[in-house]
A and B are shown apart, each in its own frame.
Chain A
Amino acid sequence: MADNADHIDGDDNEDVRAQQNLIKIKLKSSEGGIYECGLTAAKMSDLVKNMVESLGTDAVVTTEPIILGNEAVTDAALKKIIEWVEFHWDDPPVDHDFEDEKDRRNEELSHWDKQFIDVDDQALLFDVIAAANYMDIKGLVEVGAKHICSKIRGKSCQEVREMLKITNDFTAEEEDAIHKENAWIYAKD
């Protein structure tokens, strides 16, 4: 049985991935809510992937749910995250080795991702991003990061502080020092 599981785990074949996603595993939020998720989708989270690999697929499917203890993984955030991985699980795998960092930066978010991440509830947005970071879902972290960037863009630092409710802990001298250091950026060519 273990052999079989190993075989499936090690195979990136599309059919196998689809087949595996029919297997449902249970994820438990830090608030106690239990949610089902396809295996391939759940394994987009490196955290879940590691657990599944160390416990064995069979154990995960038949027994207790996987507990996601980080407080950012609220019921609402977990639901949101499952929605995202269930949509994205069959994305072609990214070859991180050769992907040019620059291209990825410039890439726009897809329409679906934009709608997905554009939530009004700031607390939920924070939880989704922090939980994605905790669960190590690289794609979703990127979506969250790009979304926040789009909100920061074009705002003064005071506006950013207000938007994200961050207190300014700089002294005037420190601010001057940074200004000075970054003077070359503002300099006209």
Chain B
Amino acid sequence: MWSSLPEPLLLEIFKNLTTNEMANVCLVCHQWSRVGCDDLLWKHLFYKRFDTIDRSVDRPIGSFESETLEGHDNQVLHVSFAHNGRLFSSCSKDGFVKLWSTECVPTRVRHSADMKQYSWNYTQYSQFNEADTLLLVSGVHFGVHTASGEIAVFNLESDDFQLQCRVLNKPYDIFGTWYTNDYLISSRLHFLGHLVSCSALWLNKAWQESESERKPIIKRMFKFYNKNASSIRTVLVADCLPDEPPEDPLLTATASTSDHKPSASRSRNQSSYSSAHRGNPFSSLGTNRLLKSLQTPPNYSQRIDFYGADSNISCTNESPIRYSSEYRCEQRSSATDSVGQRTGDTLRRAVSNDTDSGDSDFDDPPLPWNEDWLKLSDDELNEDVVSDAFPISKITSKKHSYNKSSNSPKVGSHSQNSCTEEESSSRSSRLLCNRDKLLLFTSGSQTYTPHQIGIKRIKPIMFEEFVSETASLSKRLEERRQEQESQAMAASPNWHEEEAVAHMFDTVDHTIDLKGHIIGMGLSPDHRYLYVNSRSWPENATIDNPLHPPPIANQIDIHVIDLKTFKRVGNMFRSHKAYTPNDECFFIFLDVCDQFVASGAEDNHGYIWDRHYGLCLARLPHRDIVNSVAFNPKDPEMMVTASDDKTLKIWRSKSQMIRKRQP
């Protein structure tokens, strides 16, 4: 009977015990021991025992409930802050997106839009662009089993929260993300066959100038092959850090953490990288040291214990996140001398003389609104000098694409100089962004639930300025397409043979298999680290049927991925819980600021942890599941949580609360 006491109750009991009594109850049974390891519990005991400790080590965090915002009529699914900290937006099952202003107390709804009028079922996700001039809102269409969604962009500079554009988005849980201030990434899903599909990622301009009918506003970025009913979801774009991806040993380590079956895409990846980077020694001392420090724990990735239960006991002595202060300093120093490195890169890149292939990788669609995926894909077939896709010619066609892709990592590091060059040479194009970025997303290879992180480098993208001679071009394209269509019809490839059709798709640069159901991702403010909420599968879980993913743990693990090395640098086994079964679609979002990590949980609490030590610093109670959390980027002492209890709560530090109470 007493062993079935709910854990929050146990915690409540333990709150009253002294240090010695705590040490005692931790020996009663596993459950008590686990609950008894609660950080907040021990914090008080620690202060009591070592009463000379300066309490100011306790940094101010937003752990005091400041306001409860009622404005949504249904579960609040997501909250997101503007970069300037003055606004935040919330998405909800009630179909509204609401924009809240933090500048007045009490916090008020500044704008609100009912997306139901556009046959949205609900709004799921929102994101401000970097300049905070536009808000991307992503939602789900009506329909019981629909995977179809839409992205809407609102203008924040206008007074009336003007809807500026809408973009179809499928699957909806890709959410969409900003690529630059004016361009966003959306997705289309094309089914190729049973359990096989293609995720095409599109770049969309957030508005179209009225005078520019012939100015293209969309462009396809990538096509990814999805097997076993999986698809690409939850895209994020991170700024690329100046350093190169690491040499082989680490790369191999990365590969070994993902699935062990050698797949075509990965071997292709590795070969391309080794060829691209051989003979390019890391110039900076920092990087070498960084590599060493990473390698110190041998096979750390293997060492990671996927089952939280044991490690709750064993990992308490060591910091659960593996990054030292040295490691962090390294990053800062390398960021400052990035300029030098970049020029170095430019030289090397200039030698390789492949500036043009950047363009060829991003085909403009013949006509902006053409949605026929098969026809589009044929453009690339053409460039590869492969006119058919018969298995016989498989080898040659693959060779071609290998060559091409081995170029791509080099192109991937277009530096400023080479780009301006390119720009001047073709005045009809415009460069969207002169820096490399990383496209981060979740995907699957074994089952449909997202269990991998995919990383793809985005090269600077050239956009055609004008489509000239529309009539004749379309005519020509029409002819060409008819020709190709007949060819394609004659030889429709077997989409189930991944290797045979691989040349038609873009490859993923890195995949990191987390062996669990990924339910949320967040970037650190410096874009160096990706934090991932995932619920792990049982150890040695096997997947026989891609439609039946393994059961998932009730405990959410936070994994940390270094976007410089594409390696897991640690994970936290923490007590935040989730109970939704694995066949349902759900998200628990997290947010990261310089010092803290925060996440929602299904145990009716939001959580804040120390980013360095992984200690739990605060629990933020709600009446129902907490879906999303967001730090104020300008003021980490303030944060907002969004919950199924239909409210948002604003949390502030104690000093802010006292200031607020004073008239």
Q: Counting CB contacts under 8 A, is A186 at the interface?
A: yes
When distances are taken between beta carbons in the complex, the residues of chain B under 8 Å from A97 are 64-65, 657
Q: Which of B1, B17, B27, B316 contacts A126 (CB 8 A)?
A: B1
Contact A101 B317 (CB under 8 A): no
Asked whether, in the complex, the Cβ of B9 is within 8 Å of the Cβ of A157, the reply is no
Q: How far is the CB of B556 from chain A (nearest CB, A)?
A: 22
Interface check B59, CB cutoff 8 A: no
Q: How far is the CA of A153 from the CA of B22 in the complex (A)?
A: 10
Contact of B33 among A50, A96, A153, A178 (CB under 8 A): A178
A141 sits at the interface (CB 8 A): yes
Known: A168-B28, A170-B27, A177-B314. 7 other contacts (CB 8 A): A130-B9, A144-B9, A157-B24, A160-B25, A164-B1, A166-B29, A185-B23
User: Bound state CA distance, A50 and B16, in angstroms?
Assistant: 29
Given A97-B65, A166-B3, A177-B314, do A105 and B16 touch, yes or no (CB 8 Å)? yes
Q: Does A133 belong to the interface (CB within 8 Å)?
A: yes
Q: A133-B9, A166-B3 in contact; A157/B28 too (CB < 8 A)?
A: yes
Taken together as a complex, chains A and B put the C-alpha atoms of A98 and B26 apart, in Å, by 30
B44 near A101: Cβ-Cβ < 8 Å:
yes
A12, B151: Cα distance in complex, Å? 44
Task: Tell me if A152 and B17 are in contact (CB < 8 A).
Answer: yes
- Supposing A50-B623, A167-B29 touch, asked if A160 and B24 sit within 8 A by C-beta, the answer is yes
Most buried by B among A146, A152, A165, A179: A152
- Given the complex of chains A and B, what is the CA–CA distance between A144 and B1 in angstroms? 15
Distance in Å from the Cβ of B46 to the closest Cβ of chain A?
10
Residue pairs across A and B with CB atoms within 8 Å: the count is 102
18 A-B Cβ contacts within 8 A? A50-B623, A98-B657, A101-B15, A102-B44, A102-B48, A122-B1, A130-B6, A145-B9, A145-B13, A149-B21, A152-B13, A152-B21, A165-B1, A165-B3, A166-B28, A170-B27, A178-B27, A182-B23
* CB-based contact A166/B2 at 8 Å: yes
Would A145 and B12 count as touching, CB distance under 8 A?
Answer: yes
B30 at the interface (CB under 8 A from A): yes
CB distance from B141 to the nearest CB of A (A): 28
The listed residue (A156, A165, A168, A170) touching B2 by CB distance below 8 A is A165
Interface check A81, CB cutoff 8 A: no
Cα distance A105–B317 in the bound complex, in angstroms: 27
B13 and A123: CB pair below 8 A?
Answer: no
Q: How far is the CB of A72 from chain B (nearest CB, A)?
A: 9
| Chain B positions 337-396 with a Cβ under 8 Å from a chain A Cβ | none
For residue A169, which residues in chain B have a CB less than 8 angstroms away from its CB?
29-30
Instruction: Say yes or no: is B8 at the interface (Cβ < 8 Å to chain A).
Output: yes
Q: Which of B160-208 contact A (CB under 8 A)?
A: none
B64 to chain A, nearest CB (A): 5
B20 within 8 A of A: yes
Query: Known contacts A152-B21, A168-B29, A181-B316; is A105 also within 8 Å of B5 by CB?
Result: no
Does residue A114 face the partner (Cβ distance < 8 Å to B)? no
Q: A97-B65, A169-B30 are in contact. Are A157 and B1 (CB under 8 A)?
A: no
Complex contact B25–A181 (CB within 8 A): no
Complex Cα–Cα for A97 and B64 (A):
6
**A142 interfacial by beta-carbon distance below 8 Å:** yes
Q: How far is the CA of A170 from the CA of B25 in the complex (A)?
A: 13
Residues of A within 8 A of B (CB): 46, 50, 96-98, 101-102, 105, 122-123, 126, 129-130, 133, 141-142, 144-146, 148-149, 152-153, 155-157, 160-161, 164-170, 174-175, 177-179, 181-182, 185-186
- B19 interfacial contact with A, CB 8 Å: yes
- In the complex, what distance in Å separates the CA atom of A98 from the CA atom of B29? 34
Which residues in B have their C-beta under 8 angstroms from that of A165?
1-3
The interface centre, meaning the residue of B26, B27, B317 with most chain A CB atoms within 10 A of its CB, is: B27
Contact (Cβ within 8 A) A185 B27? no
Q: Which residues of A contact B13 (CB under 8 A)?
A: 145, 148-149, 152
Q: Tell me the minimal C-beta distance from B655 to chain A in angstroms.
A: 12
Complex CA distance for A178 and B316, rounded to whole angstroms: 10
- B24 A177 Cβ-Cβ under 8 A: no
Contact partner of A149 (CB less than 8 A), chosen from B17, B20, B48, is: B17
Contacts of A152 in B (CB 8 A): 13, 17, 21, 25
| Complexed CA–CA distance, A67 and B30 (Å) | 34
Cβ of B313 < 8 Å from any Cβ of A? yes
Docked Cα-Cα span, A20 to B44, in Å, equals 39
| Smallest CB-CB A-B distances: 10 pairs | A164-B2, A157-B27, A145-B12, A149-B16, A145-B13, A182-B23, A185-B23, A166-B3, A133-B9, A157-B28
Question: From residue A163, how far is it (CB to closest CB) to chain B in Å?
Answer: 8
A105-B24 in contact (CB<8A): no
Contact B28 A174 (CB under 8 A): no
Q: Which residue of B lies closest to A161 (CB)?
A: B28
Candidates A149, A156, A177, A186; contact of B313 at CB < 8 Å: A177
The answer for the CA separation of A33 and B260 in the assembled complex, in Å, is 59
Q: Least Cβ distance of A44 to chain B in Å?
A: 15
- A114 and B5 CA atoms in complex are apart in Å by 21
* Contact A145 B2, CB 8 Å, known A169-B29, A178-B26, A178-B33: no
Q: Tell me the B232-275 residues at the A interface (CB within 8 Å).
A: none
Cβ–Cβ < 8 Å partners of A142 in chain B: 12
Q: Which residue of A101, A122, A182 is within 8 Å of B26 (Cβ)?
A: A182
Distance between B191 CB and nearest chain A CB, rounded to angstroms: 42
Separation of A133 and B7 alpha carbons in the complex (Å): 10
**Cross-interface CB contact of A133 among B3, B6, B44, B657, cutoff 8 Å:** B6
> Within the complex, what minimum Cβ distance (angstroms) separates A159 from chain B?
10
- Pairwise interchain contact A130-B29, C-beta atoms closer than 8 A: no
Measured between beta carbons, the chain A residues less than 8 angstroms from B28 are 157, 160-161, 166, 168
Q: Chain B: which residue is nearest A164 at the CB level?
A: B2
